[in-house]
Amino acid sequence: MSRPRRTPLDALHRALGGRMVEFAGFSLPVRYGSILAEHRAVREAAGLFDVSHMGQLHLEGPGARAALEWLLCCPIATLGIGRVRYGMLLNHRGGVVDDLTVYRTGPGQFFLCVNAARRERVRAWVREQLAAESGGTGRSPAGGPVRIEDRSDTTALLALQGPRSPEVLERAFGVSTRDLRRFAFRPVELGGHRARLSRTGYTGEDGFEIYLAAEDAEPVFRALLDAGRPLGLLPAGLGARDTLRLEAALPLYGHELDEDTSPLEAGLERFVKFDGPEFLGAKALREQRARGPARRLCGFVLEDRGIARAGHAIVSEGCEIGRVTSGAPSPTLGKSIGLGYVPPPLARPGAGFRVRVRDRELRARVVEIPFVPPAHLRRAKVRED
């Protein structure tokens, strides 16, 4: 059995008291102190995560745009330089090979930030599909050459998340982010270290993802910690990352998404360019849309005491109708929440079913998701009120 890989910050995590676990083939901190405290820090102030396990696959060349337009179900032609978009790679059945973010860094330059556990699969899939479309020439469907480079091993990725994240960056490095919009990025210098600063994240809060050379990760991480602690920042691990993304109802590959699950079943049809250029998996998705998916992802709150976990059966009238994909107590709501796939009529808010936890069947009620609205929507509601 192979040993888990280590990120460039492994020694620092251990020095900070991180409790290390294996995740997606990497050794990562699940927490440093309390998951609850780290979760609340991100909601109320800021949290700093090491997400260097994520993969970075770069595509460059005259055919890169056309290649990604074919490979991804989200539109690429309208993606401006300096902008980021969420998207999915699909197989021919419409199942999700991976969900990712795509960055446009130049006219024919892009990179994909992909899930760590899917890095090799995505790299192989992209090469295979381009070879199949080009007759083995390595050219895109539009005919232009495409260079593919995996830079995951030389790239570190930090996630600074929470409402005070802009203050932390300004205190640490004098960097102002007032002109950086959501889903945009730009090059910056952080204490003499070149980086790419992206206003994105996986927590539902305002915040940033910072791409930089692996050897620069530790000094930047330390500087952010030092500047952020007086503001309430905490280093945060996988535990808080999971509860935060669950409250925001953000899918986790291997739980809500896999190669047998389509974007329509997952409620992600808004990221599918049905009226745009043709893409891999489009035919299967159109057919599924016409007949209607047999199941839909829903969010639910337990009405009985207990905790729903991934894998627990969802039952109605004594019959198993689905499975929980993710579940945990919500620190923000003070309730046990979860996501799962059920027949469409039972996926509507207000519907009820039960979750089988050991020898008990706990009552659950379907609610609107996200459970906790993203930060920009919460701010908009405050302005309206």
- Tokens representing residue 201 in the block: 């994240």
Phi, psi values for residue 325, rounded to 5°: -100, -35
Helices (H), ranges, the chain: 10-15, 35-44, 64-71, 119-134, 165-173, 217-228, 238-247, 282-291, 375-384
Phi, psi values for residue 349, rounded to 5°: -55, 135
CATH number for the domain whose boundaries are 5-51+154-247: 3.30.1360.120
Residue 382's pLDDT is 41
Strand partners for 340: 298, 324
Per-residue pLDDT of the chain in tens (385 residues, 90 and over written 9): 679 999 999 999 999 999 999 999 999 999 999 999 999 999 999 999 999 999 999 999 999 999 999 999 999 999 999 999 999 999 999 999 999 999 999 999 999 999 999 999 999 999 999 987 655 544 455 558 899 999 999 999 999 999 999 999 999 999 999 999 999 999 999 999 999 999 999 999 999 999 999 999 999 999 999 999 999 999 999 999 999 999 999 999 999 999 999 999 999 999 999 998 899 999 999 999 999 999 999 999 999 999 999 999 999 999 999 999 999 999 999 999 999 999 999 999 999 999 999 999 999 999 999 999 877 555 545 444 3
Where are the domains positioned within the chain?
5-51+154-247, 294-385
Cα distances (angstroms) measured from residue 310 to each of 31, 40, 145, 376: 20, 23, 43, 29
Across the chain, which distance is largest between two alpha carbons, in Å? 63
Residue 383's pLDDT is 42
Phi, psi values for residue 319, rounded to 5°: -110, 140
Q: Which position has the token pair 């829903």?
A: 298
Asked if 371 contacts 247 with a C-beta cutoff of 8 angstroms, the reply is: yes
The secondary structure of residue 253, as a DSSP letter, is B
Residue 142's pLDDT is 54
Report the chain's terminal Cα–Cα distance, integer Å. Answer: 57
Supply the Cα-derived Rg of the chain in whole angstroms: 21
Residue 276's pLDDT is 86
Residue 45's pLDDT is 98
Strand partners for 212: 156, 195
Cα distances (angstroms) measured from residue 323 to each of 72, 255, 308, 319: 28, 10, 10, 12
Residue 384's pLDDT is 43
CATH number for the domain whose boundaries are 294-385: 2.40.30.110
